[in-house]
A and B are shown apart, each in its own frame.
Chain A
Amino acid sequence: MCEFINKRGMILRSMAVGLAITAAPVLAFQSEGTVRIGLMESQTGTFAPFGLPGLWGSLIAIDEINAAGGVTIDGKKVKIAVTPAPNGHDAGGDPAQSILLLKRMQADDKVLMIKGMSFSNAGMAVYNYLNELEKEGNPIVVHSSAVGAPGLSKISKWGFRNTFSEVDVVAGVAAAVQKRTNAKTAAFFITKDNPYFPAIADQAIIPALKKLGIEVKVMTDAVTSDRDFTRQVDQMRAVNPDLVYVLATTLPAINFMKEAKRRGLAPKAFIGGISQLTAETLKSGGDAVDGMILAGSFDAASPAVKGFADEYKKRHQQDISLFAVNGHEAMYLLKDAIEKSGIKNTPETLADDRRKFRDAFAKASITSVTGEKIGFNDDRETPKAGVHLSIKNGQFVPWPGN
């Protein structure tokens, strides 16, 4: 049925895109005082909790940059113009739809670069398609501030991301939790229809647990559309693990935690992932998620992010998340790259500008709104130190295991 819904949604969105494609694009380049960028985040559906904060964070950064005069190109200040205004495209939850939008923005909207991709399946599809565009001689940079799938940005030299890579920090989290709890056994709850979660378990978490001598007793899975987690919780209760890893998107993770609470599953620690670093987890999870331990890229209570957090809350009535911060950072990385790239920002130089921008983007370096200095490594990712957090009374707070 979900397939049915997704297909129907895809058809509707495809029709909308088709109609939009027929409309003549309005060119906006140096002569009009703007530089055009494309946005395509998931604004509706399952991945909206990751896409919307990324979009909103980016829009706040763009407003800040434009309010300060814009970006300097060829000695002239120009404003960043989002295509289509005001929120870019809604990539929804479908990889094919994402590729369609990518093609549209590359060929018709004539944007300098694209920022988007809110989930792994679409990210993998789009980054693979970037190689096709390069073969055709029409390459363009796509940057994601949300997709965490291991190895994503290695797919194409035109694919970048400033997501917080859990791979880099899971070993540290596991060691800190073991130190405090003396854990000897673990269990996994994984939604297997999103390739990110099995990958992060197999490639990072399980090897880290093995090194620490923690035995994995149960691997139980589900799909994103599941609503009842009796079986999964009962399988865990049967082995009574010390640690429970929750590797799932927001809603199944919340429902799993609620079922665990109802059934009295009480490990020494529940450990979540970046998918739990959303306002929805706090809003809908309630006391069921209280105490969950996670790794994030910043401490929301630190003074550095206060200005951004206040503005974000004023606009959207919710607290900032990792995805909002990443979205904000991405636009300042963009600004840094544009100003160092030497592009001309004209319709005639667009293809050349895209190449120059890619080269400059790979070397971009900024101080994030969190206070951390970030830049891209050789894999076009931005390694971050990370902080350990836990959920307490409906808020993400620093975890003592730091």
Chain B
Amino acid sequence: MSKKIFLLLVFAFFFVIIIFFYLLIIERDPSNLPSQLIEKEVPIFNSKLLFNDEKFISTNEFKNNITLVNFFATWCAPCREEHKYIIELSKDSSIKIIGINYKDNPNKAIVWLKELKNPYSKVITDPKGKIAIDWGVYGIPETFLISSKGIIKYKHVGPINKIVYRKFKKKISNLKKK
């Protein structure tokens, strides 16, 4: 009887060890941070537009098109790197790209967008980083994919590179099919 219990204990112990090593071995990206907002509606926020100081009201914005929301700033070097991919994504006229200029100097941002070209249909200012917190942003650049019903479908933390660009393309075409 006690032998059975002992065997069971040994088995349970090795089971835990195996799970532990399994979790060590499988490919996990530690920078892959959990996101709370996937499959949720876009946060409601109001701010101003970068170019003409007009008011921006989020509830009017996300209902008709597939939208990308990209947090960027001129002081952020990876944002400069990923910019060409955002321009590439903006060539698809059926999607809308909204840029959120995070904790930045508006004048610098305007110059920066003139230099690198402006792929955004609207650029919103977030001078104190409050909108970013509503979107659960860890650090810029971050890019969100939003369905035409205003639901957040995907989020990427960090710059967009070739692989991430293809991922976005694929996800956009999947959304279009629905």
Q: Is the A/B pair a real complex?
A: no
